[in-house]
Structures are given as structure tokens and as C-alpha cells.
């Protein structure tokens, strides 16, 4: 059944967004199809695979389980927003170096989960990384290179000693 429309005002990757969404529209669909930010992927739409992970107000969130209207008033970062203009971030460089992606479909979700984790805890150990990333499914790599990449990227998230 057609549902009513709502206004949602939020920020994506530093840019202001002011749109109308149907109440049943998920945030993943809104990002992908209304805002055309197709870097965020959808692998299950039931909250298990983690491909749709984005960062909302600093926390890694499954955008397939979030309604677009819920984003009202929040700050969102998607995979498009963690890249430098050209070139790769240290996390992305580590993914490439360790061959942590094959098909690349799970990759945006992996990057966002890892980015949120390392931002919060750059000293996390291997077990901690495995624990957090176990909410993201990758069918290609067997995870080992992904873990290696995230371990290596930790250094770039550490605050300078005497800052």
C-alpha cells in the first residue's frame, strides 16, 4: 500500500540533504536510489550480512534496518565519504595490498565497519577485529586478508603520542 511521505533533513558525507521519503523506504534504498550513492551495498536486507553498513553519528549502523525518516537530524558517512579526493586512504591501501577484496561487493561494508572500529579503538587486537567484523559476511576472501589489512591500518588511526 502506498504510504505517506515525510521530510527528512540530514547530512551525508558533509553535504546537506533535504528530501521527501516514503515512510517505508529504508535508508539503504534512499541512499542508493534517491541520492544515487551506490557505494553502499545491499546483500540481504535483513540485517545479517553487513554489506549496507554506514556510519551514523559515529556509530556503524545497518542501513537496511534503518528507515530513511529515522536519519532525520543525523550525520551520515558512506564509503564515498571516507576516500580522499584521489588516491586511497591508509585503510583502503591496506585492503589493496593484502588482496582483501575479490568481487568487492562486501568491501564498502567492511571498510565502514573497520573505519568505525579503528576510529574508536585504534589499539584493538586481532581477536577484537575478528569479533567486530564477524558481523560482515564476505563470500570470496575467507576473511584472512581482511583481518591482515585492518591490523595494518591501525597505525594510521593512532593519535600522535604527545598531541
Partner 1 sequence: MSKANRFVGSPVERLEDLRLLRGRGRFVDDLTAEGVLNAVILRSPVAHGIIKGIDTSAALAIPGVVAVLTAEEIGRPVPTIPIRLFASKLTEPLEQPCIADRKVRYVGEPVVLVIAESQAIAEDACDAVVLDIETLPPVVTREAAEKGQSLLFDELGTNRCARFTAIKGDADDAFRNAAYRRRERFGVHRHTAVFMEGRGLLAEWFEEEGKLVVQGGAKVPFATRKALSKQMNLPEDKIEVHEADTGGGFGSRGEFYPEDFLIPFAARYVGKPIKWVEDRREHLACSNHSRETEVEAEIACDKNGMVLGLRGTAFVDSGAYVRTNGLINPRNVSQFMSGPYHVPNINIVTDFYLSNKGPVGTYRGPGRYETDYVRERLFDMAANDLGIDRVEFRRRNLVREDQMPYQLPQIVETKSGDELDSGNYEVTLDQCLAEFKWAEKVEKYDGKLIDGRYHGLGLHCFIEGGAAGPKENARLVLEKSGNVSVYVGSSQVGQGVVTVLTQIAADALEMPMDKIAIFHGSTTGTKEGFGSFHSRSTVMGGSAIVVAAASLQKLMREAAGRRFNCAPGEVTLEDGKAQGPGGKSLTFAELAEEDISIEESFFNHKHTWAYGTHATHIAVDPQTGQVEVLEYVAVEDVGRMVNPLTLGGQAVGAIVQGLGGTFLEHLIYDGEGQLLTGTFADYLLPTAGDFPRIRAIMTGNYPSPINPLGVKGAGEGGIIPVGGIMANAIASALRSFNVQPLELPLSPPRIWKLIDDARPAEAAE
Helix (H, G, I), strand (E, B) or coil at 110: helix
Binding to partner 1, residues 117-156 (CB under 8 A): 129-131, 133-147
Cα separation of 40 and 106, whole Å? Answer: 9
Task: List binders of partner 1 among 92-121 (CB under 8 A).
Answer: 92, 95-97, 99, 101-108, 111
The answer to the question of residue 52 lying near ligand FES (CB under 6 A) is yes
What's the sign of the alpha-carbon dihedral 20, 22, 24, 28?
A: negative
Q: Does 108 bind ligand FES (CB under 6 A)?
A: no
Binding partner at 155 among ligand FES, partner 1, none, C-beta below 5 to 8 Å by kind = none
Q: Are 50 and 28 in contact (CB under 8 A)?
A: no
Handedness of CA 75, 77, 78, 80 (dihedral sign): positive
35 binds partner 1 (CB under 8 A): no
Longest CA span, the chain: 58
Q: Which residues bind partner 1 (CB under 8 A)?
A: 1-2, 22, 24-25, 29, 32, 37-46, 48-49, 51, 78-80, 83, 88, 92, 95-97, 99, 101-108, 111, 129-131, 133-147
Amino acid at each position: 500500500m502506498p504510504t505517506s511521505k515525510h521530510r527528512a533533513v540530514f547530512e551525508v558525507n558533509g553535504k546537506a540533504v533535504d528530501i521527501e521519503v516514503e515512510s517505508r523506504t529504508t535508508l539503504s534504498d534512499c541512499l542508493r536510489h534517491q541520492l544515487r550513492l551506490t557505494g553502499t551495498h545491499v546483500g540481504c536486507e535483513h540485517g545479517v550480512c553487513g554489506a549496507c553498513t554506514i556510519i551514523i553519528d559515529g556509530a556503524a549502523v545497518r542501513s537496511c534496518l534503518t528507515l530513511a525518516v529515522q536519519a532525520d537530524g543525523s550525520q551520515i558517512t558512506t564509503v564515498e565519504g571516507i576516500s580522499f579526493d584521489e588516491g586511497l586512504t591508509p585503510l583502503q591501501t591496506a585492503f589493496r595490498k593484502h588482496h582483501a577484496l575479490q568481487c568487492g561487493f562486501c568491501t564498502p561494508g567492511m571498510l565502514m565497519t573497520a573505519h568505525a572500529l579503528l576510529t574508536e579503538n585504534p589499539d584493538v587486537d586481532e581477536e577484537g577485529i575478528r569479533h567486530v567484523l564477524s558481523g560482515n559476511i564476505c563470500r570470496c576472501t575467507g576473511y584472512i586478508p581482511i583481518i591482515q589489512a585492518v591490523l595494518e591500518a591501525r597505525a594510521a588511526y593512532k593519535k600522535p603520542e604527545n598531541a
